[in-house]
Amino acid sequence: MPINLAHLHLWQRTKGKDPKYRNLPIEQKESGRWIDTVIAGKKRLADAAKITVVADRQADVYELWDRLPDARTHLLIRACRDRNLATPSGKTLFVWMDEQPVQGSYRITMPATPKRSAHEALLHVRFGSVTLKKPQHCSDKRASPELTLNVIDVVEDATTVVGDNEPIHWRLLTTHAVATMDDARQCIQWYCLRWHIEQTFRTVKRQGSDLESSQLEHGVRLEKLAVMALSAAVRVMQLTLAREGGSVRPATDAFDADEIKVLQHVQPTLEGNTEKQRIRIRSSRWLGPLGSSPA
């Protein structure tokens, strides 16, 4: 359930890519934002018992894997690069994963995306542990020469692919222990929740705030608008998930006391005339009396 924003990293591209970009320290690369954001987020979430950072392929940065995990901070990231393994065989990550036997299969309902139709997918799962070699182009001289991570390979069965859609194939790297099929499925479920991130940015960029249509002239003003739009988008996601029955959070997550009083007066006008309609509206559990658990 989206509660709030732990940190925002803002930047503007004011010049072209440096010809020696690949050799720059990670702090001078755009990919360094992943490290900065997680470090700042960890400070904000200092009281959290455990943090799992879920990200797509852009965050598959060796320096991030080397620096950020600790006793309470885990990473779950979709692999982007076919990295070299620290084995005498000279195999790469993707080759090794493809050679592993399927250790379990199950079905999952996939929502529609701009690239995929909604459907029920049959997933075949492999998992194991690998030790990655430090990339030659890693600019951090102090980075560990090797990193041991757990890997989960998720492939959709061809029989459940819809139309011309590409079959699902996720190669997930994680610092979480993955010793059983249940462990693998838990990580896959967490990765599926990353779709909420996509929906939040969709609300900011094209729907809701429609930030991409903004005609503000100065970058700093656009940044301020982006911060406000993202904050609003998180609240929209809270309300959307509550409406769909996927949340048991209190109304105070999204509304203050005065707003809840107004909603309590408005709610009876929206409940409908039949008991079935009233139950359906109340099932969102957001508009109960202030202080109720959950609202």
**pLDDT tens track for 21-46:** 888 888 888 889 999 999 999 999 99
Q: How far apart are CA 143 and CA 32, in angstroms?
A: 14
Edge-to-edge strands of the sheet including 146-156? 51-55, 73-78, 169-174, 146-156, 119-133, 104-110
228 confidence band (pLDDT: 50, 70, 90): very high
174 confidence band (pLDDT: 50, 70, 90): very high
Phi and psi at 162, nearest 5°, equal -100, 125
Phi and psi at 78, nearest 5°, equal -75, 130
279 confidence band (pLDDT: 50, 70, 90): low
This prediction has a pTM of: 0.83
Question: What pLDDT sits at residue 289?
Answer: 39
pLDDT tens readout for residues 254-263: 888 999 999 8
Q: How far apart are CA 125 and CA 129, in angstroms?
A: 14
Average pLDDT, the chain: 86
Report, in this order, helix, strand and coil percent for the chain, each rounded to 5: 40, 20, 40
282 confidence band (pLDDT: 50, 70, 90): low
Length of the chain equals: 295
Q: Is the pLDDT of residue 134 over 90?
A: yes
Question: What pLDDT sits at residue 284?
Answer: 47
The mean pLDDT of 162-178, rounded to a whole number, is: 92
Q: How far apart are CA 124 and CA 97, in angstroms?
A: 12
* Nearest partner of 160 among 118, 117, 125, 119, judged by Cα: 119
Q: How far apart are CA 63 and CA 67, in angstroms?
A: 6
Q: Is the pLDDT of residue 293 over 50?
A: no
